[in-house]
Structure 1
Amino acid sequence: MQTHEIRERFTNHFVETGHTPVPSASLILDDPTLLFVNAGMVPFKPYFLGDQTPDFKNGTATSIQKCVRTLDIEEVGITTRHNTFFQMAGNFSFGQYFKEGAITHAWTLLTGAVEDGGYGLDPERLWVTVYLDDDEAASIWRDKIGVPEERIQRMGMEDNFWSMGIPGPCGPCSEIYYDRGPEYGKEGGPIADDNRYMEIWNLVFMESVRGEGDKKGNFEIVGELPQKNIDTGLGIERVACLLQGVDNVYETDLLRPVIDAAVELTGAKYDDGNQDNDVRFRVIADHARTGMMIILDGVTPSNEGRGYILRRLLRRIIRSARLLGATAPVMETFMNTIMDTMTPSFPEIADNRERILRVAVAEERAFSKTLESGTTRFDEAANAIKSSGAAVLPGEQAFELHDTYGFPIDLTVEMAREAGLDVDMDAFNAAMQEQRDRAKADNKAKKHRNLDESLYREWVDNNPTEFVGYDQLSHDGTVIGLVRDGEKVGEVSQGDEVEVILDVTPMYAEAGGQMADRGRILMGDTILNVNDVQRVGKKLWLHKATVQNGGLDLGSTVTTEVDGAWRHGARQAHSATHLIHAAIRQVLGPTAVQAGSLNKPGYLRFDFNYTDALSDAQLEEIATITNQAVDADFAVNTIETSLDKAKAMGAMALFGENYGDTVRVVEIGGPFSIELCGGTHVDHASQIGPVAVLGESSVGSGARRIEAYSGMDSFKFLSKEAALASGLAAELKAPTEELPDRIAQLTERLRAAEKEIENLHRQQLLASTADLAGQAETVGEHRLVAKQLPEGINTGDLRTIVSDLRGKMQAEDALIVLTSTVGGKVSLAVAATKPAVESGIKAGDVVKVLGEYVEGKGGGKPDLAQGSGANPEGIPAGLHAVRDWLEQR
């Protein structure tokens, strides 16, 4: 049974029993606690936390959620049951059925006949676990379902009790296991061997509230939930293993084709007894799928956050392929293969295929350069270690290669082995653990931010805000809530910073890249200045305001006024963003899709997925198409319709955004621009005014950013540019259209003059120091030039001089040490001839000796090193110390 059919049977089973089907949310949600959605219940978290009341039909839902867990990327492939990306199928009940319902639903699907829509698993091979004292669940399994007592096992809190890791909903769970047979391990059920007995489904009976605690079981139950909920999770990939008769998740129809492609590309063999190679094949398969799905949801490689995770995944693919023997690019093959296997389950892949390939292939090219620089750094470190007679690469240097150069540790270990070195893995692991601890501490701190939204649940459920601001800038409303310093209050007075909740408002709350409105809340002499508006649960508007005059009570009737100039500028910028998006797609193609935006009065920035820098001609064409749309005065229409109809119209949606059943479509010029958008817009394109594109830049691998002005800000910018061009034309006595050529000519002449001056400077410098070789003194068996040169000679020039002297003294066992001061700082350079290096002298060691006296540091190769210091007064003593050091050699 193919994976897409397993998914389909799960959904059909629960829809037929009255559950509302909920599409998978994006891997990227607006949740400060998560980089990626990591569990099937995450999109339902507001309901379990009590922040919102679910409005699903019959109070039940079902979904197959795409998930990513990346806590221990380095462990991927070592076991054969865990993936970074996985599909979690679940059914959810909010105060409806409880333990018996959840157990019955699961058993019926698992053991139901294939011809009846079930999975057809042998009930005699199913085992279950329950929480230690959950006699109710055990009784249901035994008496209602008929599972023999000996196949029901009880486990403790670590295994059979669920919570989110923070104070909130929790409860015991019951897990279903499948006995794969004696060839997979010993008898005795899940307690005895969780490899033979594979967990496939977890049923969580959410009924309690837990308190604070650091570890999974280190907390107390502080109360009961007002209603009992069900949250289950079935692993699609694990069920696929069983129904396809394969040993592990890497052998299923989704991942095995990638391994086969890797075998063909690398020439290595899979499953032939080489455990290291098997892990590499599995890493390629796992990371190719995870990377592809993350790119699908709009992430591009970068050096932080989600982009950093994606970069690590893609680079581990490339590194694994190289260690297996690949010498040519591999990413295009792997990505095409995994997209072929995943498209039946995720049809949206087909529309994004070219973009996914573009991002992944670009990262492969970039990493090839990183490998070159990292290899150079490794070679330097390895040579220095072997020259010193040591045989271990310090863990700190291995971590630097990993963290700074993006060099994977196992590649470092492999190269060290080839160089005859070991790696201090204890020190490396310690550095890695420090980094993980910092990340976990930061994540833990972020988790607690999520709890505050429960403060607003009453209003979200019972009094959501009515937004009337699309066609009104002023409206009366009633104050239904006041929050000050995180607490509900009944009144506020002059000087208070407060969140005002109204039943009706014309003010736009920040969303979709558009900044919130500014304005005032008025009642008689009372004035509140509103400087921000935010939403809670997409239903409640929080007006963040300062009481400028008077006071305000709950129940007061007020007038809310939007700053008209602010709204006008914001509408111009937001509509201009839509035009630029459409223009970008015309010029660059359909793969250049939105990755983020910011709109505020007079200014916009637009991020989009594209790997290459735009040419001046492309940027000019985008600006021209945008302003042609303004000049055409396209009508701007808004349409409320269903999500399916909007997609049929060709409306574009944002990555990571969850849309309801009814959506708002903004159409500018008919087919010119059609997007799902809840923002405010002009009525006609001409109201945007001129759009001045300022330029484009990179915001990470595979992502670009265009910035622009709109309206009067654009006019002011263009006027200044025109005045500047006129001034330059007058100064250069050239027509404005000839300015680029004239400036290019002047720049070239200036560069040539600077180069000539630099050459003259170098020649004069070398001439003035030509007799330094003749001033060399004999120290022991060595020759030494150790001088403080006149002030103003920088480190680069000192390097030139010591290198020249080294050449003149190349036949001698000579050491050259020169210093100077620039702006009160010390610059220094050291060179050693080949005979000196062979006698054991290293320029870097000399830099360290001198550095102790000038409060400096530096480094380099054995024959050439440089550094800097902060104490010029220490130079004489430092040079004397160098003489003493050399004399003792």
Structure 2
Amino acid sequence: MQTHEIRERFTQHFVNAGHTAVPSASLILDDPNLLFVNAGMVPFKPYFLGQQTPPFETATSIQKCVRTLDIEEVGITTRHNTFFQMAGNFSFGNYFKEGAIKHAWSLLTNSVEDGGYGFDPERLWVTVYLDDDEAADIWHKQIGIPAERIQRLGMADNYWSMGVPGPCGPCSEIYYDRGPEHGKDGGPEADDNRYLEIWNLVFMQNERGEGIGKDNFEILGPLPKQNIDTGMGVERIACLLQGVDNVYETDLLRPVIDTAEKLTGATYGSNDQDNIRFRVIADHSRTGMMLILDGVTPGNEGRGYILRRLLRRIIRSARLLGAQGATMEAFMNTIMDTMTPSYPEIADSRERILAVAVNEEKAFLNTLESGTKLFEDAAAEAKSAGKTTIAGDEAFTLHDTYGFPIDLTLEMAAEAGLKVDEEGFHSLMAEQKARAKADSQAKKHGHADLTIYREWVDQNPTEFVGYDNLEAEARVLGLISGGEKKTTVGQGDEVEVILDVTPMYAEAGGQLGDRGLIRAVGALLNVTDVQKIGKKLWVHKAVVQEGQLGLEAVTASVDKQWRHAARQAHTGTHLIHAALRQVLGPTAVQAGSMNKPGYLRFDFNYTEALTPEQLHQIEQITNQAVDNDWAVNTFETTLAEAKAMGAMALFGENYGNEVRLVEIGGPFSMELCGGTHVAHSSQIGPVAVLGESSVGSGVRRIEAYSGLDSFSYLSKERALAAGLAASLKAPSEELPDRIAALTEKLKAAEKEVERMRRAQLVAQSLKYVESAQDVNGFHVIAVQLPAGIEAGELRGIATEMRGQIANKDAVIVLGAESAGKAPYIVAATKSAIARGVKSGDLVKLIGQYVDGRGGGKPDMAQGAGSNIAGLQAGFEAVKKELESL
């Protein structure tokens, strides 16, 4: 049974049982505790936490999940995956233990002809929590499982919570006996390799308190309602129904391994080390592809860093298996082919996914060259020092800075006849992980407490009338000040006002919330921001300017100038997006935006800086759309119909079945958007593109002004150009050529000054050579040069001096003061090195006196410190060291 059919059978089973089918949420949710969705219940957290009332009593979903805590462990075993699909059914106060158990059992054991999976009931075992007699009785008396196949386990195994205070409860896990060839008898408690867990039924009935770990917390008491949260591992079910040993042999991942065999010439199954590399390629290709699908791009922190690590581990593993050239395109195409039946949206993003992954491969291959050079330097220094081991800190630098995993460094070291201080490396890795774990633990309690808003979210969602009206009569439903509900607020109070009707737009889709006023009899409030809670409730953040306000009738009005300029900027963002795709192609898609009155910025996925010509094209196409005076049409439609019409949607955004479509100029621009817009494109006014920049790996940003702000900017630019033209006595159209000519003259003058300066330094170096001291038979030049000489110049002077006395046992020690620092250098001739001089050691010695660090090779090494006054003492220490040789 193929994986996509396993998914379909699960969904249909629960839909037939009256559950609402909920689509998988994006892997990226606005949650302070999570980089990625890591469990099937995560999208339902507001319901389990009591922050919102669910719109259904029962639901089912197949949620895509990513867990990346143990990336380094992937491939070592066949059970660990970074991406997995969690099929689940949920009950919010409807059925409880009996219903959950019966639903799961019938799907697992019903025949394939009847819509089930057809598992042999005799091979299924279950575990329950220690004192959960109720669940044990249901399994034994109602389902008919013999008592000897029901095992009781403790809190660490069979008690679930989210790891933070909140809902929790005992659980019951279902296991499949894979047979004696996979391990010993005795059920799950004896061997969890033979007895494979396939489904976990969580009976969410209690509230937990503070604590750390799976079993170190207090049970505070029962929840108001008993809930069900279950999770069935789609990949594990696929292994069993496809008759394969592990997930890497299933229809989703085995094709990637086959592709890797073709590209590398290696064979899966030939040895353990290669097997790990094949599994890394298969697992990370799928996870990386799914992350890119949901809008993640490679970067140096957060989600982007995780994606970068995954992609680079693929590249490295392929090279270690024998691949010579690029491999990413082949891996990505293969995994997209296997996953598209389950996720049809992959087809629409195929070109973009390939572009992101392939560009990261190109970048890393360049990085590999830099890292390889660093490794070769470290290996050469170790050999010249008579060492057989590369230091752990150097291996860690290769890993942390250049993305070299330890196994790649180990292999390169072995080829060079060296070993690596693995203990030192792993010690540094452990320190890094401890810091990351502490940081993660510190963030775990970051749940925003939204329960204060719940009664309004549930009963009185705000009616937004601001698309058509800038003023509305409303009633105050609630007041919150200082984190507490109030019945009245007075002058000077900062307050959150909840209205039943509002014309004010709440911040969303990159558009800032409206500004405006709330008036009542004898009261005036200045609204400074509007935010949404639970997508249903508008919260007006305001300051009471006059009088007192209670739960009464009011008039809410939008600042007309603010709204007009905000609409100009927001609609201008749509035009910029459309123009950008015309110039750069369909892979340049939105990665974020922000617009406020008169200003907009637009982030998009793209791996190269834009040329001036491309920016000019984007600006020209945008303003041509403004001049076309197209009607801006907005209408409600279904998500399916909007996508069929070609509407653009944002990654990571969860849309309902009904969506709002904004169309400008027919096919020119068609996007799903809930923002406010002008009625005709001409009302945007001129759009002035300020420029573009990088905001992260693979993400660029365009900034622009709109409306009167654009006019003001262009007016200032014109005045500046006129001033330059007057100063240079040239027409404005000749300014670029005249400025370019002046710049070239300046550069030539600077080069001449630099040449003369260097010539003086070289001439001066001859005097220093003549004044060299004899120290234990060494020709020693130790000089603090004039202030202002930089590290690069020191190197040139030292090289020049060494060349003049290359036939002697000479050591050159130079230092200077530059920008508040003390750069220094040590250089040695070949004969001095033969007598035991190591420039790198001498540089480290100087560092003790100038509070600095440095290093290098025996013939030349450099460093820099912060204590300039210590240079002379450092020079004397070098002389004493030479006397001891």
Tell whether the structures are fold-level matches, with TM greater than 0.5: yes
- 1-side partners of 2:206 and 2:818: how far apart? 69
- 2-side partners of 1:432 and 1:824: how far apart? 34
Structure 1 position 525, deviation (Å): 4.1
- Contact conserved, 2:647 with 2:671, CA < 8 A, in 1? yes
2:482 corresponds to:
485
Aligned: 1:301 with 2:298: yes
- 1-side partners of 2:817 and 2:614: how far apart? 48
SS, match of residue 216 in structure 2: coil
Aligned match for 1:456, one of 450, 453, 456: 453
AA paired with 1:636?
V
Aligned match for 1:867, one of 863, 866, 876: 863
Structure 1 position 158, deviation (Å): 0.9
Cα deviation code 1:444-471 (max 9, x no counterpart): 3333232401221111111212212112
1:853 corresponds to:
849
1:118 corresponds to:
116
2:502 corresponds to:
505
Structure 1 position 305, deviation (Å): 0.8
Aligned: 1:399 with 2:399: no
Structure 1 position 645, deviation (Å): 1.9
1:228 corresponds to:
226
1:45 corresponds to:
45
- 1-side partners of 2:546 and 2:446: how far apart? 32
2:10 corresponds to:
10
1:747 corresponds to:
743
- 1-side partners of 2:239 and 2:42: how far apart? 25
Structure 1 position 388, deviation (Å): 3.4
Aligned match for 2:545, one of 523, 544, 548: 548
Structure 1 position 627, deviation (Å): 0.5
Aligned: 1:239 with 2:233: no
Structure 1 position 413, deviation (Å): 2.5
Structure 1 position 484, deviation (Å): 2.4
SS, match of residue 591 in structure 1: coil
1:636 corresponds to:
632
Do the aligned partners of residues 561 and 838 (structure 1) sit closer, same or farther apart at CA in structure 2, a change above 3 Å counting?
farther
Aligned match for 1:62, one of 60, 63, 77: 60
Aligned match for 1:157, one of 140, 155, 158: 155
Do the aligned partners of residues 773 and 243 (structure 1) sit closer, same or farther apart at CA in structure 2, a change above 3 Å counting?
same
Structure 1 position 401, deviation (Å): 2.1
- 2-side partners of 1:877 and 1:432: how far apart? 37
Structure 1 position 825, deviation (Å): 4.4
Structure 1 position 643, deviation (Å): 1.5
1:31 corresponds to:
31
Aligned match for 1:798, one of 794, 799, 802: 794
Structure 1 position 823, deviation (Å): 5.7
Structure 1 position 842, deviation (Å): 1.9
AA paired with 2:72?
E
- 1-side partners of 2:596 and 2:856: how far apart? 50
Structure 1 position 14, deviation (Å): 1.1
Counterparts of 1:403-802 in structure 2, within 5 Å, are 403-553=400-550, 555-802=551-798
- 1-side partners of 2:69 and 2:788: how far apart? 52
Cα deviation code 1:210-266 (max 9, x no counterpart): 111111111121121111111111111111101111000000010001111111111
2:70 corresponds to:
72
- 1-side partners of 2:5 and 2:820: how far apart? 74
AA paired with 1:148?
P
- Contact conserved, 1:82 with 1:249, CA < 8 A, in 2? no
- Contact conserved, 1:60 with 1:91, CA < 8 A, in 2? yes
AA paired with 2:277?
R
- Contact conserved, 1:784 with 1:815, CA < 8 A, in 2? yes
Please identify, of 23-32 and 411-420, the stretch whose mean Cα deviation from structure 2 is larger: 411-420
Aligned: 1:330 with 2:327: yes
Please identify, of 544-553 and 834-843, the stretch whose mean Cα deviation from structure 2 is larger: 544-553
2:351 corresponds to:
354
SS, match of residue 444 in structure 2: helix
- Contact conserved, 1:362 with 1:701, CA < 8 A, in 2? no
- 2-side partners of 1:177 and 1:877: how far apart? 72
AA paired with 1:139?
D
Q: Structure 1 length normalisation: TM-score?
A: 0.97
1:387 corresponds to:
384
AA paired with 1:20?
T
Cα deviation code 1:389-435 (max 9, x no counterpart): 44443333322222222222222222233334333334333333333
Cα deviation code 1:96-132 (max 9, x no counterpart): 1111111111111111111121111111111111111
Aligned match for 2:832, one of 830, 836, 841: 836
Structure 1 position 80, deviation (Å): 0.7
Structure 1 position 532, deviation (Å): 1.9
Structure 1 position 684, deviation (Å): 0.9
- 2-side partners of 1:790 and 1:97: how far apart? 84
- 2-side partners of 1:282 and 1:789: how far apart? 58
Aligned: 1:881 with 2:877: yes
Structure 1 position 90, deviation (Å): 0.8
Q: Structure 2 length normalisation: TM-score?
A: 0.97
- Contact conserved, 1:359 with 1:701, CA < 8 A, in 2? no
Cα deviation code 1:816-847 (max 9, x no counterpart): 11223346643322211122122221223222
Do the aligned partners of residues 591 and 793 (structure 1) sit closer, same or farther apart at CA in structure 2, a change above 3 Å counting?
closer
AA paired with 1:460?
V
Cα deviation code 1:511-545 (max 9, x no counterpart): 11111112232334433332222111111122222
Do the aligned partners of residues 421 and 466 (structure 1) sit closer, same or farther apart at CA in structure 2, a change above 3 Å counting?
same
Aligned match for 2:146, one of 136, 148, 171: 148
1:181 corresponds to:
179
SS, match of residue 527 in structure 1: strand
Please identify, of 631-640 and 862-871, the stretch whose mean Cα deviation from structure 2 is larger: 862-871
SS, match of residue 798 in structure 1: helix
Structure 1 position 576, deviation (Å): 0.3
Structure 1 position 558, deviation (Å): 2.4
Structure 1 position 646, deviation (Å): 1.7
Cα deviation code 1:622-653 (max 9, x no counterpart): 11111111001111111012212222222211
Structure 1 position 577, deviation (Å): 0.4
What is the RMSD of the two structures over their aligned residues, measured on CA atoms? Answer: 1.7
SS, match of residue 698 in structure 1: strand
SS, match of residue 709 in structure 2: helix
SS, match of residue 45 in structure 2: helix
Cα deviation code 1:252-306 (max 9, x no counterpart): 010001111111111112112x211111100000000000000011111010111
- Contact conserved, 2:89 with 2:230, CA < 8 A, in 1? yes
AA paired with 1:861?
K
Unmatched 5+ stretches in structure 2: none
- Contact conserved, 1:126 with 1:179, CA < 8 A, in 2? yes
Do the aligned partners of residues 289 and 825 (structure 1) sit closer, same or farther apart at CA in structure 2, a change above 3 Å counting?
closer
AA paired with 1:16?
N
- Contact conserved, 2:73 with 2:80, CA < 8 A, in 1? no
Q: Percent identical across equivalent pairs?
A: 72
- Contact conserved, 1:131 with 1:160, CA < 8 A, in 2? yes
AA paired with 1:38?
N
- 1-side partners of 2:342 and 2:435: how far apart? 37
- 2-side partners of 1:876 and 1:254: how far apart? 67
- 1-side partners of 2:606 and 2:313: how far apart? 22
